[in-house]
Structure 1
Amino acid sequence: MELLSLKTMYQTPHITMKKNKLLPVWILSIILTNFNIGFAENPNKRANINWLDQSAPSHFSGTTFGVPWERGLIEPDLTFKLMSDEHTSLDVQTWPFAFWPDGSVKWTAVAVSPHDHLPESLKLIEDLNPIYKNSLKVIEDKKSITIKTGIVEVTINKSGSNIFESISREGVISAKNGHLVVLHQNTPELSPEFAVVTTHFTGQIKDVLLEQDGPIRSVVKLSGIHQSDNNTQLMPFSVRLYFYAGSENIRIMHSITYDGDEEKDFIRGIGVRFDVPMHNAQMHDRHIRFSGENDGIFAEAVKGLTGLRRDPGPEIISAQLEGRMTPAVEEFPERVRRGLPYIPTFGDYTLFQSSANAFRIRKRTAPGHAWLNAGNGSRSSGAGFVGSPLGGVGFGIRNFWQSYPAQIDIRKANTDNAQVTLWLWAPESDPMDLRFYHDGMGMDTYEKQWEGLEIIYEDYEPGFGRPIGVARTSELDLWVPGKTPPREKFASYAASVAKPPILIADLQHIHDAGVFGGLWTVKDSSDTDPIRNQVTDKLDWLFDYYKKSVDMHNWYGFWDYGDFMHTYDYDRHVWRYDVGGYAWDNSELATDIWLWYYFLHSGRADAFRMAEAMTRHTGEVDVHHIGSFAPLGSRHNVLHWGCSAKQLRISTVANRRYYYYLTADERVGDLMDAQIEAHRSLHDVPPLRKRVDVDLSDPSKVLLSFGTDWGSIVSAWLTDWERNKNKASYNRIRNGMKSIAAQPQGFFTGVGMMDVESGAFEISESDQIVVSHLNAVFGLVEIVAELIDLIDIPEFEEAWLQYCKLYNASDEEQYAVLGTVSRNRGLRQGHSRLTAYASMKKSDKELALRAWEEFILNDAERSLKIPKTVEIKSLYSLNPIIEAPDISTNYAAQWGLAAMQILRLIDVNKNAVK
């Protein structure tokens, strides 16, 4: 008989017992469980799952990841299990979080709980009857939410200042009174003219939502604002707390938005603070831990027993060094016992990361006494612990050194309750100064501003360079081990803070599912074709060059980490950090998408984490989340928010989708939701206001380009439709596609007035063309590939293929079709992927050859050659650096995307070159 799935057996009436009685489901389940009877499953309904870092972690507190599926394959109610090759099952919770047009599941989110023995390789397969070894318990009332993981119990308040009231393990309180703090200063620097006044703000909860209540994963979202004693309010916050069944950890996602006056409101500290009961442990049994670089650990007791004039003995010393309970004081040698009151107790400790390359540890006995330097180093991984063998809490800040200045304070460890503050902006650093970097230099008219743009590439306009509404998200972790952890265990925890373990579906599975437009290939290490290998070698080189540049040029810091610089200055041997629009890149020419495509191509963990950091940065810092510019992004500038060009192409969901779908991250989901109506903002902040007169009389209409603007907003609608099945977004997409196709020159019409509700463009009465070299290079290529795959509008596809074919075509070819010729067709190499796409869709070999020639610029040896690098040493550079001629971030992003799409869309081999 043909083998059937269990679900099919449940639903098939002809499978019966004797006397024509249907076999009860619960009996069948027992039979299958106890006799290990298996049934054939659909092999397509499974996915190989890998650890991002290629090996199982030693400390794992749970994670969530996304798995895509081919269209029409997975029903929305289908659940899954995660199995090892040894048939060990891990507890998982799954749910669909994106859908294909036919209603089948496009992406499944998988939440995984901790497991004693983590396998190296895993498979996600369908599971009709999930059974959990551990499950969460959630109790909610009017005042609080209590979550029990099976190991820890956390009570979360719905009002007031304490985000969590208490965290307990086995009935013992490990932490309490968890709240947010901000320190405000009235002046950025010491001055005889002004007295420095520091004001303390505490987070006040306004809204609490139990966002997810599942057996394996629960999420609580809290929103509010920081408030001072005199009821002044500053900096809205959003905090998510993540819980996994059987976990000792609580993950914290902390987001703040700047809403102050940058001329008056200088932030001295941003932190999360809580108390840790010390449970009457002896002072010499109270332990402090800080992580240094790699596996380095600072480990001391509040009252040290080593190095004394009188030796306590190896048993006592080893117990203290290892964090175990020491013998009773009565068993101490008499001279040591008598001398205990005279050994100093150190109650206060600070780990301060002042730069990307320097941290220090200090301690003191109590306020009013001198600090002692206790340790120094380069890059701390940002983890700590305070407690005793009776209990305690570990804690960590992810990207601690990368996002300097950061700080961890432990105070009053020699009292009944130690106090821990995890500072995301360190009070020991200078205050945060977000003022604009120049006075405007007289650029008070559009004409003068255009002259400024001509000389330093900076689009300045008074009042537009303010930081109102920029945001920052940080990740923190709390760990409740129940006692002072062994050093090896603490080192593993610190490593997990710095690099949280991540699971990823097999890259070929992701590719074969047909998501993200499918415009890339998974790197094949066995490929022997020399041309393809030249392309992939240069792809690797480009990524590595930028990875090294991040470190060489210190692209780190609270507001900067995750971004690249735009263009290099070969005269000074630095990136142009101080030259207008040549400084921070701010997603220019789809840098984010290049990194994500490169990860999907290579599978490299370092590529994932670099793309992740960029997604966090560009979605938060480069976008105004509140205020008159919200929710638009800012074009590249010396300051991330400094440019007066507030544009959809920077805030675009096209840059966020990859990370969201690979991780199911709720914060990025919030950022994408905020973009659904972003096009309305262009009525008040028109992108072309300095060059053309824009009619703003009708608020129901906005002027959008078909490229950078519509391509950006349609990515928000597409994602909303996929995630939420929003019919309104679907209709807007269709109306836009149809009205672009109906233009006299299709995509070459270039710009139009769009109805803000329907998404339809007015049909132009002119056959003029408006072409910009930027139209297609901010994610339009990748988004349109998805639209054509998902929505059948032949006339739109034809209009897009016409644009793809003609953009790089000869003047004669353009004139023959359009009756005119475009003079603004830069980035020819980057646009080779449009030609390649047209060749693939039309099965046109001549177009394929033309695409290849455009990509190599008619010189394969020069175009595919790895650039030579030059080492610049002292006298000409502050530090030794490596630089490569002619490499800019625009080039890297567009060459990288073109290379990966050329590899996918045409047959790149010797014959193609010929």
Structure 2
Amino acid sequence: MKIHLLPNRSRAGHVTFGGYWSRGEAPADAAFALADASGLPIDVQSAPAAYWSDGSIKWSTHTADAFRIGDEAELSVLPAGAPVPSIGRAVTVEETEDHTGYIVHNGVLSLIVPKPGGASKPAIAMNVMRGDVPAADRIYPVFDLERRDASAEGTCETRSVTHYEGVIDAVTVEQSGPVQVVFRFDGRHIPNPRIIADHTATGPDDPVDMPEPSMPFVIRLAVCAGEKDLKLTHTFAYDGKESRDFLKGMGIRVDLPLTGHAHEHHVHFQTDNGTFHEAAEMFFGNHWDQSPAVLRRQLDGDLPDAELTENLRKAEADLPIWNRYALVQDASSHFRIVKQTKPGCCELTCDRGSRAPGAMAVTGTSGGVMIGMRDFWRKYPGELEVAGLGTAAAQATAWFHAPAADAYDFRHYDTRTYTYTCYEGFDYMLSTAYGVAVTSEATIRLLDAMPKGGQVADFAAQVDRPAVAVGAPEYYHAKRAFGEWSLPAAPDDPSVKPSERWLENELAKAFDYYKAEVEHRDWYGLFDYGDVMHTYDPARHVWRYDVGGFAWQNTELIPTYWLWTYFLRTGREDVYTLAEAMTRHTSEVDIYHFGPLQGLGTRHNVRHWGCSCKEPRIAMAGHHRFLYYLSGDARVGDVMNEVLPVDLTIKRRGKGGDGASFPVDGDLMPTRSGPDWSSFVSNWLTAYERTLDPKYREWIERGVNDIAAAPFRLISGPSFMYDVKTKDLKYMGEDRGTPNQHLQLCQGGIQIWAEVADELDLPVLREMLVEEGSFYTLSAEEKLRRCGDEELAHRPFGWPSLITEILGLAATDTNDEKLGRFTWDVLFDTVLRGGDGGYNPTAYTRDGGGRTEYDIPWNSTNCTSRWALGVIDNLEYIRQWLPDEVPTEVTGGDFFH
């Protein structure tokens, strides 16, 4: 398998990537080799990630030096018995002599990872050494909670901020070299009795007593051979009460031993206008030896303490020491840098700007650290802070939520729902953030000297846009990775029809529009970045950000599948970046990781957790497995485990389907074949291929056989009775009143079932898909003739534009040209009737003047994601029936926006 680095990404550091193999190509115990373009071996650490049912490896995960991979490298399966290439410089892990922790060495640094209770103060790393030079005393999580207590009238609030300390409950060595070591830390925060801030308005003086939340966390620490970087992935989960528990600060802190005097302690912040650089004590003021030339030497690191003049030594005792510096990104387009001498004194504003890359360096005479945060301004409010800069014991903190910003408010936008007007599901309120999470990434690099030149800028770029290694679209397509989808035609192929060129152009324009909308609409923020909005409001020229179920998308109609499939076929880095951000968001913020709703996700709403509908389809593994297998992301692996017991969650709640209350009879509960049972199947398939535990395959096969035994098989859907204990589906009879036949398919059912049929060799499932696709668009008379059931024949099979993949699949498997041409009519109709010939933004100016902006008034994300997937899949299924030219008049079906 040939791999390459994506452009516009870093080419430095180590990168973890996925390898994909045909059935039987890589035995379960296979070893792998990696070689650069000239055939020289590259050190690589490999592990299986998923298996075929015959036990051979389907996906493998590999870690290697990105610089060595370069433009192209070859990943291969070694023949049985072949020697594995030796690792040049290894990273090792061993227990301490007293068994209280682990010692890590990687050739250039060492550190101790304490076990729970193995250190006097909780930490994820201690005694970090750069060779034999101390680099960091301790690295640990920090957290600040703001508590608000409302007055009896609800008009005033008492606010207090409490500092929480991180407690490590479990340490797991997830990987143990030789290229990379990864530790996982599971923990929680406990309150420090000391209240560190108090902002009291009129209202009660004493907070109301209530149990303290623990705000659990999962942190991963990765150390690679020969690198001076410590890579951190930090997941925060919310278990508070929205009415009073507000997120004030959250991050990772490093205790630094700084050598030298205060004037030799430096701080650097990378900004969008170069590097901001000062020292804790600067030789510039009202003194003849404090000249710009002297200050320039000091900032260049060319003024050692031994060379200070007598006058400078006198001045040194009478200069302010700026002990604290902070860069605060309080909006996606604004940051400020402040400094302070000591608590109780004012902050001075040093600088302002738009977007800081998110990197800071703190150094003394023997070095220090750089700290970088990924997506710093995109996931605002973030903060980089150093305290005690003028002392021998500084504290550098990467705040994923800045304490200097307003506390994050998890409350809903109202105290009721609006089902009649705002598409909000049900009348009861179930807007709860209890159990949602958010994941952030940071890197700590050990320095042996003060950084110079563009060193901080280069580091910031590497952290913000780390290397990504992937295979070519042609490779994934040939091996049918993630199912069936098409490749774009070659640009210089004269046989390609004008209509296909037009479709490819529209696919590109649709993606480019959403990429631009992220920036245009400022879809940024710690809990928002990665998601897009659901429906556009042409009257206000905004997305319906404030209208119930029309605001955030929350995976509705699988835009995740659209973006990832579009990446697989194009290999575009910007597509990967948007898809990666969407997966990171939807796998954390939109779903519940613990508690009474574990494994469920929240349907689209103004708040990501706002809708009363809690469904398995939002959280299912299918959304997330693309990133997991392509990048080896361990946190996504956690999430796919967390959603596995979602059917048990639904059973405990006594809810079924769309969140409505249903009677539960023992272990039986009403469940739609799609998108409920199909979501279970997505979870089970992923668990099966990751573990080969036969129960997951048995559960899938049991349900497939139950549906196949129903009078009209999949066409009978969507309602069945589901046995939580046995995983059986029981036929419930036909329901003429259901308007939601399309929901059985449009939420991923087609993709899930088609892949399952192929991977688990279940031809009956493919047959049922073809049967339903062939049946879907028939007239009521023809349906009645085929099925002989009045109820089924007259049930509304609406919105074929949402399920064109199953129409194309049925057309190709039955060689039904009429159905194939009808499918293309629907796809052209969807876009051509929407506006002026497709995804062409139109200009507008807001009332009262202003700059010219652009929108697509007819667009919705439901429409775009379903249309784009339909085109991508049907160019594989029914390309032969594509009309030569773009139709001028089409009557192929519904128009859904």
TM-score, normalised to structure 1, is 0.88
Within-5 A mapping of 1:441-480 = 452-480=418-446
Q: Indicate yes or no: 2:277 matched with 1:302.
A: no
Match of residue 85, structure 2, among 130, 139, 152:
130
| Cα contact 1:275–1:419 (8 A) shared by 2 | yes
| Cα contact 1:111–1:216 (8 A) shared by 2 | yes
| Cα contact 1:67–1:108 (8 A) shared by 2 | yes
Q: Indicate yes or no: 2:126 matched with 1:186.
A: no
Q: Quote how far apart the aligned CAs of 1:758 are.
A: 3.3
Match of residue 579, structure 2, among 603, 611, 628:
611
Within-5 A mapping of 1:670-689 = 670-685=638-653
Within-5 A mapping of 1:410-421 = 410-421=386-397
Q: Indicate yes or no: 2:45 matched with 1:71.
A: no
Could you tell me how far apart the structure 2 residues matched to 1:877 and 1:842 are? 57
Report what 1:660 is aligned to.
628
Report what 2:108 is aligned to.
151
Could you tell me how far apart the structure 2 residues matched to 1:734 and 1:457 are? 36
Could you tell me how far apart the structure 2 residues matched to 1:777 and 1:674 are? 24
SS in 2 for 1:109: strand
Q: In the TM superposition, what whole-angstrom CA distance separates every residue of 1:715-747 from its partner, at most 9, and x where no partner exists?
A: 110011111111010101111111111111111
Match of residue 269, structure 2, among 290, 293, 296:
290
Could you tell me how far apart the structure 2 residues matched to 1:692 and 1:648 are? 13
Shift in alpha-carbon separation, 1:77–1:358, aligned structure 2, 3 A: same
SS in 2 for 1:563: coil
| Cα contact 1:748–1:769 (8 A) shared by 2 | no
SS in 2 for 1:179: strand
Within-5 A mapping of 1:818-857 = 818-819=787-788, 820-857=792-829
SS in 2 for 1:775: helix
Shift in alpha-carbon separation, 1:158–1:897, aligned structure 2, 3 A: same
Q: In the TM superposition, what whole-angstrom CA distance separates every residue of 1:415-437 from its partner, at most 9, and x where no partner exists?
A: 01111121111111111211121
| Cα contact 1:538–1:865 (8 A) shared by 2 | no
Q: Quote how far apart the aligned CAs of 1:313 are.
A: 8.5
Report what 1:273 is aligned to.
253
* Structure 2: unaligned runs, 5 residues or longer: 194-210, 888-897
| Cα contact 2:834–2:859 (8 A) shared by 1 | no
Q: Quote how far apart the aligned CAs of 1:223 are.
A: 0.6
Report what 2:64 is aligned to.
112
SS in 2 for 1:212: strand
Shift in alpha-carbon separation, 1:857–1:825, aligned structure 2, 3 A: farther
Q: In the TM superposition, what whole-angstrom CA distance separates every residue of 1:521-554 from its partner, at most 9, and x where no partner exists?
A: 2564434422222111111111111111111111
Aligned residue identity for 1:303? E
Q: Quote how far apart the aligned CAs of 1:256 are.
A: 1.4
Match of residue 724, structure 1, among 691, 696, 703:
691
Could you tell me how far apart the structure 2 residues matched to 1:692 and 1:226 are? 35
Could you tell me how far apart the structure 1 residues matched to 2:822 and 2:158 are? 69
Q: Indicate yes or no: 2:861 matched with 1:889.
A: yes
Report the more deviating stretch, 336-345 or 783-792: 336-345
SS in 1 for 2:587: helix
Report what 1:396 is aligned to.
372
| Cα contact 1:114–1:246 (8 A) shared by 2 | no
Could you tell me how far apart the structure 1 residues matched to 2:555 and 2:431 are? 18
Please, what is the CA RMSD of the aligned residues? 2.7
Shift in alpha-carbon separation, 1:536–1:911, aligned structure 2, 3 A: closer
Q: Quote how far apart the aligned CAs of 1:846 are.
A: 3.5
Shift in alpha-carbon separation, 1:695–1:576, aligned structure 2, 3 A: same
Shift in alpha-carbon separation, 1:796–1:370, aligned structure 2, 3 A: closer
Aligned residue identity for 1:163? I
Shift in alpha-carbon separation, 1:539–1:192, aligned structure 2, 3 A: closer
Could you tell me how far apart the structure 1 residues matched to 2:578 and 2:776 are? 32
Report the more deviating stretch, 106-115 or 388-397: 106-115
Within-5 A mapping of 1:437-586 = 437-440=413-416, 452-522=418-488, 524-528=490-494, 529=496, 530-586=498-554
Shift in alpha-carbon separation, 1:788–1:194, aligned structure 2, 3 A: closer
Q: Quote how far apart the aligned CAs of 1:909 are.
A: 7.1
Report what 1:341 is aligned to.
317
| Cα contact 2:499–2:884 (8 A) shared by 1 | no
SS in 1 for 2:159: coil
Q: Quote how far apart the aligned CAs of 1:697 are.
A: 2.8
Report the more deviating stretch, 550-559 or 303-312: 303-312
Could you tell me how far apart the structure 2 residues matched to 1:859 and 1:883 are? 15
Could you tell me how far apart the structure 1 residues matched to 2:653 and 2:53 are? 34
Q: Quote how far apart the aligned CAs of 1:687 are.
A: 5.6
Aligned residue identity for 1:185? E
| Cα contact 2:35–2:74 (8 A) shared by 1 | yes
Q: In the TM superposition, what whole-angstrom CA distance separates every residue of 1:20-68 from its partner, at most 9, and x where no partner exists?
A: xxxxxxxxxxxxxxxxxxxxxxxxxxx11111226762xx221211011
Report what 1:27 is aligned to.
none
Q: Indicate yes or no: 2:187 matched with 1:219.
A: no
Q: Quote how far apart the aligned CAs of 1:898 are.
A: 0.6
Q: Quote how far apart the aligned CAs of 1:479 are.
A: 0.9
Report the more deviating stretch, 775-784 or 328-337: 328-337
Shift in alpha-carbon separation, 1:215–1:381, aligned structure 2, 3 A: same
| Cα contact 1:738–1:793 (8 A) shared by 2 | no
Could you tell me how far apart the structure 2 residues matched to 1:763 and 1:874 are? 55
Shift in alpha-carbon separation, 1:809–1:521, aligned structure 2, 3 A: farther
Within-5 A mapping of 1:202-281 = 202-229=165-192, 232-279=212-259, 281=260
| Cα contact 1:185–1:197 (8 A) shared by 2 | yes
Within-5 A mapping of 1:664-813 = 664-685=632-653, 694-698=662-666, 700-750=667-717, 751-764=719-732, 771-813=740-782
| Cα contact 2:563–2:579 (8 A) shared by 1 | yes
Report what 1:168 is aligned to.
129
Could you tell me how far apart the structure 2 residues matched to 1:826 and 1:320 are? 73
Aligned residue identity for 1:90? I
Report what 2:160 is aligned to.
197
SS in 1 for 2:317: helix
Report the more deviating stretch, 168-177 or 719-728: 168-177
Aligned residue identity for 1:49? I
Could you tell me how far apart the structure 1 residues matched to 2:321 and 2:830 are? 74
State the identity as a percent. Answer: 32
Could you tell me how far apart the structure 1 residues matched to 2:831 and 2:782 are? 23
Aligned residue identity for 1:120? D
Could you tell me how far apart the structure 2 residues matched to 1:52 and 1:198 are? 44
Aligned residue identity for 1:304? M
Aligned residue identity for 1:607? V
Shift in alpha-carbon separation, 1:766–1:576, aligned structure 2, 3 A: closer
| Cα contact 1:507–1:522 (8 A) shared by 2 | no
Q: Quote how far apart the aligned CAs of 1:634 are.
A: 0.6
Report the more deviating stretch, 456-465 or 378-387: 456-465
SS in 2 for 1:186: strand
Q: Quote how far apart the aligned CAs of 1:332 are.
A: 4.2
Report what 2:333 is aligned to.
357
| Cα contact 2:176–2:182 (8 A) shared by 1 | yes
Report the more deviating stretch, 810-819 or 418-427: 810-819
Could you tell me how far apart the structure 1 residues matched to 2:332 and 2:878 are? 43
SS in 2 for 1:829: helix
| Cα contact 1:257–1:471 (8 A) shared by 2 | yes
Report the more deviating stretch, 201-210 or 267-276: 267-276
Q: Quote how far apart the aligned CAs of 1:389 are.
A: 4.2
Aligned residue identity for 1:729? Y
SS in 2 for 1:298: strand
Shift in alpha-carbon separation, 1:823–1:697, aligned structure 2, 3 A: closer
Could you tell me how far apart the structure 2 residues matched to 1:911 and 1:576 are? 36
Aligned residue identity for 2:347? W
Within-5 A mapping of 1:625-644 = 625-644=593-612
Q: In the TM superposition, what whole-angstrom CA distance separates every residue of 1:441-477 from its partner, at most 9, and x where no partner exists?
A: xx6xxxxxxxx32311112444411211111111111
Aligned residue identity for 1:419? Q
Q: Quote how far apart the aligned CAs of 1:512 are.
A: 1.7
Report what 2:617 is aligned to.
649
Q: Quote how far apart the aligned CAs of 1:403 are.
A: 1.1
Q: Quote how far apart the aligned CAs of 1:613 are.
A: 1.0
Aligned residue identity for 1:772? Q
TM-score, normalised to structure 2, is 0.90
